[in-house]
């Protein structure tokens, strides 16, 4: 039996399906890595699924701050946001206890010696250049390919998660790799790991499932 010293708090809702996937991934990690199989073997988890505003950056920042405050008031000492783009609008954060999804993904890229990555993300994450800030060389899909990525993200948010999406995305990655050099792929949108779960997206390149990376870090920090 495992002992958890910290309560995990998740700011979800951007989007809701990805947030629930983070929750279920945390449980799977507890089962696989820590052999959890009884109530007390799992950490306490508080998930807020908030209907965030679109387009108003200051409003989003205020809403994130409100959610983090609710989580802390409810007893969460380890918090995160299940959205990449929202890391561009972070409010003032506590000195410790916040697990940054983007930072953890970049650490994982460094661990896997990925120096140049294909970034698959929503347009706002790309616009905010969240992954360039570390010095990682970033490659992006073409404008036409990005439209298809956007469509997949919306499909997953709407509940459509099918193997043919994985097959098409896998082929897209291969095409991009034929015309550009990179040595890894980062799923920099929390909806895309659900497509990756249907089928591994590349046999030749490491693919960073950022939901899994975040979940592992949360569990590691929560367990005594």
- pLDDT at residue 55 in the model: 87
Which residues of the chain are modeled with pLDDT < 50? 1
Same domain, 49 and 118: no
Distance CA 162, CA 173 (A): 17
Number of domains into which the chain is organized: 2
Same domain, 184 and 95: no
Same domain, 135 and 96: no
Same domain, 76 and 131: no
Is 191 part of a structural domain of the chain?
yes
Same domain, 87 and 130: no
Same domain, 95 and 22: yes
* Both tokens assigned to 168: 């098409």
Same domain, 119 and 204: yes
Same domain, 84 and 28: yes
- pLDDT at residue 224 in the model: 65
Same domain, 79 and 148: no
- pLDDT at residue 1 in the model: 47
First to last CA, the chain: 11
Same domain, 107 and 205: yes
Using CA atoms, how far residue 157 sits from 18, 74, 211, in Å, is: 8, 27, 15
Same domain, 93 and 38: yes
Domain holding 152, by residue range, is 103-210
- pLDDT at residue 2 in the model: 55
Is 2 part of a structural domain of the chain?
no
């Amino acid at each position: 039996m495992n002992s958890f010293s910290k309560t995990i708090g998740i700011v979800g809702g951007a989007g809701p399906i990805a947030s629930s996937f983070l929750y279920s991934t945390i449980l799977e990690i507890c089962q696989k890595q820590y052999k959890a199989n009884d109530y007390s073997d799992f950490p306490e988890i508080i998930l807020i699924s908030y209907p965030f505003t679109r387009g108003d950056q200051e409003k989003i920042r205020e809403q994130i701050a409100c959610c983090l405050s609710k989580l802390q008031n409810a007893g969460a000492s380890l918090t995160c946001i299940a959205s990449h783009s929202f890391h561009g609008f972070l409010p003032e954060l506590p000195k410790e206890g916040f697990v940054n999804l983007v930072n953890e993904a970049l650490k994982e890229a460094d661990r896997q010696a990925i120096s140049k990555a294909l970034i698959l993300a929503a347009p706002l994450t790309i616009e905010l250049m969240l992954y360039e800030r570390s010095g990682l060389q970033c490659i992006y899909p073409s404008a036409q390919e990005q439209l298809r990525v956007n469509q997949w993200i919306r499909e997953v948010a709407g509940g459509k998660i099918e193997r043919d999406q994985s097959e098409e995305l896998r082929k897209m990655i291969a095409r991009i790799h034929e015309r550009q050099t990179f040595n890894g792929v980062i799923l920099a949108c929390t909806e895309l790991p659900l497509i990756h779960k249907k089928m591994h997206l590349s046999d030749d390149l490491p693919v960073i499932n950022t939901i899994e990376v975040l979940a592992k870090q949360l569990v590691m920090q929560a367990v005594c």
